[in-house]
Every structure is written in C-alpha cells, then in structure tokens.
A and B are shown apart, each in its own frame.
Chain A
C-alpha cells in the first residue's frame, strides 16, 4: 500500500513539473490561438533580470510585464515579427535567446564549424604526413650500421652474466 502511494506521489510530482509555469492564468488571452502564439514568442525572449531564462519561464516582475506587453501587442494586431521588433527596439538583440544571423554574429554561428574544419584539417594533414613520412624519416640501415647494431647486441648478451 505504502509502495503504491509512494509511486503515485512520485509520478504526480514528476508529471506536475511541466505544469508549474510562470505564466499566470490571469495573464492568458481568451483566444487560444493567440495565446499559443504569445507562448511561442515568449519562449524565445530573454528575461532581462535573470538573463538565462526566457520570459515564459521567469517569475521576475519585469518578465510578467513583458509577457503582458507582448500579449497586448498581439491583440492590437501586431504580427509575431512586429511584436518582437517592439522589444528589440527597446532592449536590443540581447532580448532574443536565439541571436539573429548577421555579420556581427557570424563568428558566433559559424565559429564552431570553422574550428571543426581547421581542427579536422590539421589532424588529416598530420595523419597523412605521419604515414607518408614513416619510410622517408627512417631509411633502411646501411651495412655498416647493421654491423654496429649486431656488435652492440652481442655486447649486451655477453654483459648479462656480469654482476
């Protein structure tokens, strides 16, 4: 019985996680389609107070104000892009959790791939030089060297018996 209860409580806890949201019922729009648009937009907008949360997730008062403002803009007939532009006009690209692709952000967007290409290139280049250079770097021993080596090996063998 206890086990069942425990399981039920655990399941309820786990399942209620996604339901616990910062968006309060009184903020929501009556039109479900428009509310869905507002939710989608606000998931990509940064809460400027907490900075690593979206305004959809944040309980900060400013995030709530921005959510309400966003909904107001949508009700007034703004397109998604216009509503977002209203905020970037005031807070800059920083409010966007997904930075726009433009020359100033090329490094951000394409930098990792450039590093991958450079790193991969270096590995390939080294690998090729390594296998090609193995013979080039170590030419076969001359007769003189072989004789010298044989002598050293013999010395080594003879030396084994010594204290």
Chain B
C-alpha cells in the first residue's frame, strides 16, 4: 500500500486531465460556461402585448404565441453588433419557413426600421420593446437572445448571444423538428 502512494499524483493528474478533456468536448459542442440556465424553460411565455415596429406588420403578443405553431422569438436591436452577425442566419431560417417573431429591444423605432429595410426583414412580425420590460419578463440578459416557443406557447429553449451555425444544427433545428411533430 505504502509503496503505491507515489502513484497518487499521477492518478490525480489523469483524473484532472480527463475532466478537462470532457469539458473541452462539451465546450466544442457549445456548452460554454457563460451558457446560463433559464428558469423560464418549460414555462408559458410571460404575458405581453407590444406594438408593431414595421408598418403593415402586426406587433407581437403572448396571446398569439400559443396557436399550435412552433416559433422563434428573437430579441434584437439596431445598436447590437452581434445581432448583425446573426441576421444572415435568421434570414436563411425565415427562407426555410421558420416563423420568427422579432422584438426590437430598447431601440429607436426609426433605427430599427432602417436596419430591417437595409438588410432584410426575417420576421413574420416584429414589435418594439422600448422600455425593455418584456425582455426582463423573459429573463433576457442582453441582445441577441432567441427563444424556441412550442405549440402551446411554452418556452423550450433559450439561446444567449447570436445563433451560430453549430447551435442551429445541433440544438435549434433538431428541437424545432421534434416540437413540430
């Protein structure tokens, strides 16, 4: 027993190295330490009714989110740089027929409208949350954040930060497909 004591540091090292390896793999798949769990998961979307941003499109209200369709709710702003990098992914998703509702967070209406006119509007409807109170009700930390809403209007997934192609392939699209069955 005593003779094997010298192996203890080796065993500790191997254990630690193994754990680091597991975490590296998880982070590779997008499970980073800053991915904070949301307490809103599996809960119905908070009650809200926000006015439209764009002429000719309706606003976004919680009542309309429980009509049997799976949707994304995307919090964004014209002043938010990561939102711009996410924009092309949203456009592609909208092109594939995914229903995305946008909420323009603490933004000037003219700025939000201008950027959608310039870059394209991926949203089936987009609303203004000028006070940011609806975002707080969702538990938003900062834009962009995206929520997957199921047929019953419950929040099933939260994406913190811009949607990356990996997040889309590994998490969001599989979840949308599963919920749409």
Interface residues of A (CB under 8 A from B): 48-49, 61-62, 65-66, 69, 88-92, 94
Question: Residues of A contacting B132 with CB < 8 Å?
Answer: 61-62, 65
Contacts A90-B40, A91-B39 hold; do A49 and B142 have CB atoms under 8 A apart? yes
- The residue of chain B having its C-beta at the shortest distance from the C-beta of A72 within the complex is B133
The count of residues in chain B whose C-beta lies closer than 8 Å to any C-beta of chain A is 16
Chain A residue with Cβ nearest B106: A61
Q: What are the 9 closest A-B residue pairs judged by CB atoms, nearest first? A: A92-B39, A90-B139, A48-B141, A91-B139, A65-B132, A49-B142, A94-B36, A90-B137, A90-B136
Does B38 interact with chain A (Cβ within 8 Å)? yes
Q: Who on chain A is nearest to B39 by CB? A: A92
Q: Within the assembled complex, what's the spacing in Å between the Cα atoms of A92 and B46?
A: 15
Give every chain B residue within 8 A of A91 (Cβ-Cβ).
Answer: 39, 139
Query: Which residues from chain A contact B138 at a C-beta distance below 8 Å?
Result: 90
Known A61-B106, A65-B136, A66-B136; contact A90-B142, beta-carbon cutoff 8 A: no
Interface residues of B in 117-164 (CB under 8 A from A): 131-133, 136-139, 141-142
Are B37 and A92 closer than 8 Å at their CB atoms? yes
Q: Does more than half of chain B's interface fall in helix, strand or loop, or is it mixed? A: loop
Q: Which residues of A contact B139 (CB under 8 A)?
A: 90-92
A90 to B43, CA, bound (A): 11
Majority DSSP secondary structure for residues of A touching B: helix
What's the least CB distance linking A96 to chain B, in Å? 12
Task: Decide: B141 and A90 in contact? CB cutoff 8 A.
Answer: no
**What residues of chain B have their CB less than 8 Å away from a CB belonging to chain A?**
36-40, 46, 106, 131-133, 136-139, 141-142
- Tell me, in angstroms, the Cα distance from A65 to B134 when the chains sit together: 12
Residues in B whose Cβ lies below 8 Å from that of A49: 141-142
Nearest-Cβ distance from residue B132 to partner chain A, whole angstroms: 5
Question: What residues of chain B lie closer than 8 Å to A94, measured between beta carbons?
Answer: 36
- Is the pair B106, A90 in contact by a Cβ cutoff of 8 Å? no
What separation, in Å, do the CA atoms of A62 and B131 have in the docked complex? 10
Q: How far is the CB of B155 from chain A (nearest CB, A)?
A: 12
Q: Chain A residues with Cβ under 8 A from B137's Cβ? A: 90
- B137 (CB) vs chain A CBs: closest residue: A90
27 CB contacts below 8 A, A to B, read A48-B141, A48-B142, A49-B141, A49-B142, A61-B106, A62-B132, A62-B136, A62-B141, A62-B142, A65-B132, A65-B133, A69-B133, A69-B136, A88-B39, A90-B39, A90-B40, A90-B46, A90-B136, A90-B137, A90-B138, A90-B139, A91-B39, A91-B139, A92-B36, A92-B39, A92-B139, A94-B36
Q: Which of B39, B40, B106, B131 has the most CB of A within 10 A?
A: B39
Q: Which residues of B contact A88 (CB under 8 A)?
A: 39
Q: How far is the CB of A25 from chain B (nearest CB, A)?
A: 20
Residue of B nearest to A87 (CB): B136
